[in-house]
Structure 1
Amino acid sequence: MNHATVVLMGLLFVAAGYLSYRHYVNAKALLYDWAQANRFRILHARRGMFLPLSMMFTTSRYQVVYHVSLYDESTHRIRTAWVRLGTRYWGVMDGDAIDVKWEDAG
């Protein structure tokens, strides 16, 4: 392996890491924008590792799923939900690419 190949591979790893980082930063920003637009205040948000069955088989590896606790300013209640962000095939963080599964029936 010559020097140019090593440098190129290093640049590819750095670029892949940066794109992955930007994907999750954009997902978090989309989550907070969605909450603000719907008059929710996020109390707690964590990436979901163990998804509910309704989302497990329909979520692609490009989508980001958060388990959130929200304060609903319109009803003055705390609600919890699973929020899936990103499009199915490419994971594009579009404002329309948000799917919410509420844990409480409200």
Structure 2
Amino acid sequence: FSTTCRTVFSFKDYVNGMARKRLHEEAHMKTLTHTHGAIRFTLDNLFNNEESGANPEATKALVIITDGAPSDLDRGWGSEFTKELSQSRFNAASDK
């Protein structure tokens, strides 16, 4: 999730054994960190989209690995994600 968001693999790809291959082939985007937009994209295009292979009854968890310096504005998407999935949000940080 750089200046744009895109799906590298879906839940269907995972079930079909293609997720690792697709992730391995994905090139690093190398620019900005649009964390908040990526959260919204993930909710709309993966977690809340049965076409992606998502199970509406499944417990959902999102792990974000980032530099911690988002370059887009938080338009409430982080708290919306927590509320929408009825989950807690945990943060871990390191200065290294």
Q: TM-score, normalised by structure 2?
A: 0.23
Higher relative contact order (CA 8 A, sep 6+): 2
Would you tell me which structure has more strand in proportion to its own residues? 1
Which protein has the larger Cα radius of gyration, Structure 1 or Structure 2?
A: 1
